[in-house]
A and B are shown apart, each in its own frame.
Chain A
Amino acid sequence: MRLFSVVNREIPIAKRRSLTALFLLFFLFALPVVKSADFFPAGIDTVYASEDAAKPATPAGEGEVKAAQPEEKKKEYPPAPQLKESDYPQVKYINGRIMTWMVAQLHLWFAAFVLAVPIFVFIIEAIGMATKDKRYDKLAYEFIKVSLTAYSITAVFGGLLLFTLVVFYPDFMKYMANIFSPTFLAYALIFFAESACLYIYYYGWHAMETGFSKWAHLTVGWMLNVVGTMLMFFANAWVTFMMSPHGVDANGVFEGNLWAAIHNHLWNPINLHRVIANVAYGGSVVGAYAAYKFLSARTQEDRAHYDWMGYTANFIAIAALLPLPFAGYWLIAEIYAYSQQMGITAMGGVFAWLFITQAVLIGALFLSANYYLWCGMERSKGAVKYTKYIKYIAFVIVTCFLVWFTPHTLILTPGELKALGGPYHKYLGPLGIMPAKNTAVNIMLLFTFLSFMLYQRCNKIPTVSWASRGNAFQIAIFVTAIINIGILGIYYGYFTNTVYKVASSVLQVASTLSVIILCTVINIFMYKGAKEVAPLQWGKMPDRSQYALFLLAVSFTWLMGLMGYIRSALRQHWHVYTVFRDSSPDAYTPTIGYAANVVTVATILFMAFVIFIFWLSTLSGKKETAHH
């Protein structure tokens, strides 16, 4: 036993060192590669000089083409190169695109996770400070511990991504570097800042537990979030520049305004969408972690703790999931506004079916989130009076979901086609377009929120005198909002023009959000000093409910992979949309099935890594228990 603890005590330090070393190694390793590929220009003015100097070394056929362009245009920046298939290095047995795709996807999953966790760790720590409830602090610490190893793996995959890009797409990276090289430097610096913040935040947790130093600790947490988000915004700028290039002319010649290139058309929509989605995603992964710990817990105390942790994580995930459809809608609207071709490719063309797949996944997310809440009512004996409502909520949610799932283009057998007289369906047709789906999703959100409200009040009875009026008022708000959403969706969606349609969807969102906010506020006052009739018994939760948390995490992961594919595939055969053509043999757009297969393999890899991380964290957990 003693030996055991000695051995294990060594692990965190060794782990920490080795992982830091690994990540530093990657970073240092990546830089020379970059340098040798002429990737970091020493100075923008000299880059062509060096390129010309390098000319004799390159094969004659290639060198001339590229050298001729900067000579002709005496401008500071070159146009986007016109590449040939031979400009893309081929590595035997490795498909460059799939490799880059997988690595980028894995990097993104981990990055989303490690960016999200500090956001709610910060919130939970603040709640813990405000309520002086030790549980929150412990929970926050456990969260950040989970994300620490993930952080190193994120960095490793980031380095690997850079490496694959430089190996498989050297000319593309060179072009991007010409425009974005100042941001690369900033990115590296901010990355170091983030590492510093994270290490101080985690390792200083127990040292900075009281008084002023706790405030300092919280500030570090805040900074960690700021630098982390900045990092993501930089990466988003590169990605969105590729989709909606700005600050370059039609030939891809950079006009010299870096801010214009960063602040391109889709930058802010993607920023918003990713921040929200990250939080939802981080919550779901931590939820899965808690669920696993719950299932394997041996003591009642552990069960209660991990039940509570799973509940909190799920709460975070769902709270972030609620506004996500709106952020997504904004993003798609902006894509449409940027380019009709891109918009129709996304919504009406090949990818229309991808959104059907997405609908299935999001339906699964909503159903499992609701299921978890319904099961959670078991925690209190007072819930009996609400369980009878579950079936109505289930009915509304499934109805909305079926509307949402109905595709615009139906798969018809010839017999059905004949019976209908054409590909249009009189009743399903109107359900296939956006107004129906907006209406459905808003109502679905409202009812998910209703599930949550019922759950919240299952163990309490309000004592304030206006309780019955308060309830009536809340019901009135709900009914009004649903009618409002319905009218907005049906009247403005079908009987006026598309400009109003977009505007009406904003109003729908506004009514949904105001219901959520109003009801929450009313609840806070109504349940102040409420009588607790049957206390929540944490840990009294059926095992099957935990699978809802796994479903949530797995579906989120897979869905992110799929949506990442479509975001990237919208560019079609362009590296930088309409400016820099992708001439590689893999420039074609794969089918959804192919993409799904790649995403599945990547998801399974990711899950394996996550299991590894959790296993590592159990090791240090064992150490703690052994130590005590």
Chain B
Amino acid sequence: MKIPRLLLFVIIVAVVYGIFKAPGFFLKQPIPSSLILMYMFFVVITVLLWMTSTEEGMQGLVGPIKALIEDPGKKRLRNIVFVIVPLVAGFITYQQIKPSYEAPVELRSIHPAPPASIKVFNKTFSLQTLENPYRKLEKEDPAKFTQLVKEGGEVYFKNCFYCHGDKLNGRGHYAHGFNPLPLNFTDIGTIAQLQESFLFWRISTGGPGLPKEAAPWISSMPIWGNFLTEDDVWKVILFLYNYTGYVPRSWEK
């Protein structure tokens, strides 16, 4: 049996919508509604393009609609549709604009652009050129490097671990008190995408060091520059990369 084009269109759109909704129902990872809106927009457009790419398809799609409006024999169906469509439109509009208790959408950029230079530890660091002074030891003196990583680990477990967790996955003891959760360093989208100088900036100046465009400043990260030394920060950065197995972003091979 050949399914009529118009029906096929409706079925495809409905199925795709269901697929996009599925992660939210079954996996507790809902796809944001704003994204589903755009996804659906493009899916509908593409399906329409495909269906109208041949003359036959075009007729199959438009024909029934045309018939519904023009065919005198379909008067009853037409009247029903013409009542239902405005009602549905009205319902959707009502759902859209009715007041709700939902807090407004907040947007945080996860990796805001760093400033050109930062002032911390009573020094000015230019983030453009800043490099981890210990990174070179990785090749030159592996034993010393391992030692430094170990010291970095100690810094981590004395300071950072309470929030960022013993597995560096952002699930520390205090983590659940925060919204958003502390950063998960094992995620490919976090430290693996960044240069070490970026981490140095974020660790040593903490939440208050975020630029304006990263507002709202919902970050409880302390200004570690006040509690740690410059060395500690570099060591803990070594530890973060070493533990997660990622390599900081760099441009030279």
Contact = CB atoms under 8 A, between A and B. Distances in A.
Given A340-B127, A367-B46, A367-B49, A498 B193 contact: yes
B45 interface: yes
Nearest to A370: B49
Contact of B113 (A345, A397, A419): A345
A350 B113 contact: yes
A410 B27 CA distance: 18
Contacts of B198: 340, 344
A541 to B, nearest CB: 10
A61 interface: no
Contact of A348 (B38, B109, B127, B181): B109
Given A409-B109, A413-B102, A426-B29, A371 B49 contact: yes
A408 B247 contact: no
Given A402-B42, A409-B107, A371 B53 contact: yes
Interface stretch (B81-89, B147-155, B182-190): B182-190
Contacts of B34: 410-411
B45 A367 contact: yes
Contacts, number: 172
Contacts of A621: none
Interface in B232-253: 246-253
B112 interface: yes
Given A336-B251, A349-B111, A427 B23 contact: yes
Interface string B26-47: 0111111111001100110111
A378 interface: yes
Interface in A406-422: 406-422
Nearest to A340: B195
Max chain B C-beta neighbours (<10 A), residue from A363, A378, A411: A411
B64 to A, nearest CB: 18
A339 B127 CA distance: 10
Contacts of B192: 497-498
B96 to A, nearest CB: 14
Contacts of A412: 32, 105-106
A400 B39 CA distance: 11
A430 B188 CA distance: 7
Given A340-B197, A344-B198, A414 B102 contact: yes
A498 B116 CA distance: 22
A411 B105 CA distance: 7
B53 A374 contact: yes
Contacts of B170: 422
A426 B31 CA distance: 10
B115 to A, nearest CB: 8
A341 interface: yes
Interface string B94-123: 000000001101111111111110000000
A404 to B, nearest CB: 10
Interface stretch (A214-222, A386-394, A463-471): A386-394
B223 interface: no
A153 B50 CA distance: 39
B31 A428 contact: yes
A345 B128 CA distance: 13
A378 B33 contact: no
Contacts of A413: 32-33, 102, 105
B58 interface: yes
A409 B111 CA distance: 9
Contact of B29 (A336, A397, A417, A420): A420
A130 interface: no
A433 B193 contact: yes
Contacts of B116: 341, 578
A610 to B, nearest CB: 26
Given A349-B213, A411-B107, A416 B32 contact: yes
A329 interface: no
A413 B104 CA distance: 7
B35 A410 contact: yes
A495 B192 CA distance: 10
Contact of A339 (B42, B50, B128, B250): B128
B60 to A, nearest CB: 13
A409 B105 CA distance: 13
B10 to A, nearest CB: 16
B14 to A, nearest CB: 16
A419 to B, nearest CB: 6
Contacts of B58: 542, 544
Given A420-B29, A423-B180, A426-B29, A348 B128 contact: no
Interface string B182-225: 00100111001101011000000000000001000000000000
B197 A414 contact: no
Contacts of A60: none
A372 B131 CA distance: 51
A376 to B, nearest CB: 9
Given A348-B109, A371-B53, A432-B189, 13 more contacts: A370-B49, A377-B53, A378-B55, A402-B42, A418-B179, A419-B30, A424-B189, A429-B187, A429-B188, A497-B246, A498-B193, A498-B248, A502-B251
Interface of A: 336-337, 339-341, 344-345, 348-350, 352, 360, 363, 367, 370-371, 374-375, 377-378, 387, 390-391, 394, 397-398, 401-402, 405-430, 432-433, 494, 496-499, 502, 542, 544, 578
20 contacts: A340-B195, A348-B110, A350-B113, A367-B42, A371-B49, A374-B50, A374-B54, A387-B53, A390-B53, A406-B35, A410-B34, A411-B35, A417-B179, A420-B29, A421-B181, A422-B181, A426-B29, A427-B27, A499-B252, A542-B58
